[in-house]
Amino acid sequence: MIKKWWHDKIAYQIYPKSFYDTNGDGIGDLKGVIGKLDYLKDLGVDIIWLSPIYQSPFVDQGYDISDYYKIDEIFGTMEEFDTLLSEAKKRNMYIVMDLVINHCSDQHEWFQKALADPEGAYGDYFFFRKGVNGNPPANYRSYFGGSAWEPVPGSDYYYLHLFAKEQPDLNLDNPKLRNEIYTMINWWLEKGVAGFRIDAIGNVKKDPTFPNLSPDGEDGLGDAGRMIAQAEGLDDLLEDLKINTFEKYQAFTVAEVFYMKDENLEKYVGENGHFSTLFDFSTQELALGEHGWYENGPVLFEDYREALFHSQLKCQDICFLTNVIENHDQPRGVSRFLPDYAQNDAGVKMLGTVNFLLRGLPILFQGQEIGMRNCPMDSIEEYDDINTLNEYKTALAAGLSQEEAMKVCFRQSRDNGRTPMQWDASENAGFTTGTPWLKVNPNYKEINVKEQLADDDSVLSYYKKLVALRKCEQYKDVLTYGRFAPLYEKESDIFAYKRTLDGQSVIILANFGAEDKTLSLDGIFPEGAEDFTFSPDRILLNNLDDLFVEGQQLTLKSCQVIVLYAPGA
Ligand code: GLC
Ligand code: CA
């Protein structure tokens, strides 16, 4: 594996609207990001990914861009962005932007021109098609519900939108548009951004014949993703994108792709792949119901473990994945992946540890480092997210009561990840002096940065230890490049693995169960290749004060995780 500058780094996702507000309008801003750079540096963060800050009407919270060259005024100015870049640079930190090119906003100048004249030059920047017998051109259901075709008033044209109707899909097959996009990307790279997180990129290639699908719901529609899945030529498009932009700048790129097929990994993120890396969404995919959120139950531990083991094993000879517990499209990982008895500091630290020491680039999502939880909302009106509102309706239509549908939102809503960052115990969690744009989680008095910074046993202090472990000279190489091997796979409730490189191993042992669990440490090298003798100085991290070992028998308490050092193969 050819080493890359970003392999041994720690990344952090900022959702700017909810990070830190400096002017009291209730919305996080760029000055807020600049003001917290030292906090992030102290945590050990190297790479910062900013969710979109471009000009936008915010129908989908900035993932609907109306001007790719402007910073939206709610966040600040281009001068402030330049300050952020230079302040980050001073601290040896990298800024990664969000790149949304599958679609833009319906307020973008391109779309406004196209709408005025679908048959003109700008019409071909999008997908305009004529309706059939008064119906849309094809029966696609958009990802946010309803038809993916929106009629153009006063004409028999419709335009395609895989997401909201205010997010028309861009036609990247059109070389003119592609050039505009490439110029824009290179403009940001020239400015000094280190790369991009690339939004919804698996969707950019359409089947231009737009065939009808067999219906997969009572609405008579078929999931638009099925048309995408059968479109040909995506690889050529992505390669063209890379060659004309990222590659020239050695930019870091992380692609957002769900349900990545094993056989495509090499093409996407192999040595000469289209992107640097790809999010491992295997555990998120466990919680995507077929017809809607209402269909998902809790994620079971065995499935969680199997999903991660599977992706770790299949990737290690091909690529370097990006590991996430949560992001702005997901509920809080602690709420999703930990059972009730693990809803405590020990559980949070355990979940963080097993994820953080996997092979790959760890990305923390803002608030994860303090163990933020899903936010209880009192009524559907308190939610903002367009997708949550749609899923709520879908749940009601499927026969759930309002109360049940609210429970679904509490479990699944994207707003769980978007509530304001909890900085301290003062009003509005210290996020703003004004009225926050989205409800602050009422638990901010118990869960906030200020208190955790002052407490050596806090989740935040523990995350700092994890980061420090990953970065320390002695274990950095094995934790970055070490091979992954599962351990104790047959033991229920145990999440265990080792990372091995050049005669060094790091062992991670976690008990996700409610009861104590005793393991024989002789099982660490089952092949008998090495002897492993336990001694306390092998412990690199322990999330509890206690340690129960008798000879080679280690007893892990419920929610305990221990990281051990071992020489070995
Ligand atoms: C990605 C974003 C999500 C957005 C969607 C459409 O999945 O992460 O927030 O709604 O793309 O742009
Ligand atoms: Ca503000």
Q: Determine the atom of ligand 1 nearest the C-alpha atom of 63.
A: 12
Q: Is 256 a residue of the active site?
A: yes
The 10s digit of each residue's pLDDT in 231-274 is: 999 999 999 999 999 999 999 999 999 988 899 999 999 999 99
Ligand 1 atom 3, closest CA: 329
Burial grade of 73 (CB within 10 A; 0-12, 13-18, 19 or more): exposed
The 10s digit of each residue's pLDDT in 207-232 is: 999 999 999 998 999 999 999 999 99
The 10s digit of each residue's pLDDT in 159-180 is: 999 999 999 999 999 999 999 9
Ligand 1 atom 12, closest CA: 63
> If pLDDT is split at 50, 70 and 90, which confidence band does 527 have?
low
Catalytic residue among 256, 280, 385, 415: 256
For a substitution probing ligand 1, which of 13, 97, 142, 163 has the most ligand atoms within 8 Å of its CB?
Answer: 163
Q: What percent of the chain has pLDDT over 90?
A: 93
User: pLDDT value at position 530?
Assistant: 60
Between 569 and 363, residue with greater pLDDT: 363
Q: What percent of the chain has pLDDT over 70?
A: 99
Q: Is 280 a residue of the active site?
A: no
Provide the residues around ligand 2 (an ion) whose CB is within 5 A. 21, 23, 25, 27, 29
> If pLDDT is split at 50, 70 and 90, which confidence band does 528 have?
low
Lowest mean pLDDT among 177-181, 185-189, 501-505: 501-505
Mean pLDDT of the chain: 96
Question: Could you write out the DSSP letters of every residue in 483-533?
Answer: EEEEESTTSTTEEEEEEEETTEEEEEEEE-SSS-EEEEGGGGSTTSSS---
60 Cβ closer than 6 Å to some ligand 1 atom: yes
200 Cβ closer than 6 Å to some ligand 1 atom: yes
User: pLDDT value at position 488?
Assistant: 95
163 Cβ closer than 6 Å to some ligand 1 atom: yes
Q: Which ligand lies nearest to the CA atom of residue 390 in the structure?
A: 1
pLDDT surpasses 70 at 26 = yes
Q: How far is CA 93 from CA 41, 369, 564, in A?
A: 8, 18, 30
User: pLDDT value at position 49?
Assistant: 98
User: pLDDT value at position 156?
Assistant: 95
User: pLDDT value at position 288?
Assistant: 79
Residues ≥6 apart with Cβ < 8 Å to 474: none
Q: 507 near 563, Cβ under 8 Å?
A: yes
User: Can you give the C-alpha Rg of the chain in angstroms?
Assistant: 24
Q: 64 near 110, Cβ under 8 Å?
A: no
98 Cβ closer than 6 Å to some ligand 1 atom: no
User: pLDDT value at position 524?
Assistant: 81
Distance of CA 199 from the midpoint of ligand 1 (Å): 6
User: pLDDT value at position 526?
Assistant: 61
User: pLDDT value at position 249?
Assistant: 97
- One-letter amino acid identity for 465? K
The 10s digit of each residue's pLDDT in 448-497 is: 999 999 999 999 999 999 999 999 999 999 999 999 999 999 999 999 99
pLDDT surpasses 70 at 569 = no
Q: Model-level pTM greater than 0.95?
A: yes
521 Cβ closer than 6 Å to some ligand 1 atom: no
For a substitution probing ligand 1, which of 144, 160, 329 has the most ligand atoms within 8 Å of its CB?
Answer: 329
The 10s digit of each residue's pLDDT in 287-333 is: 877 789 999 888 999 999 999 999 999 999 999 999 999 999 999 99
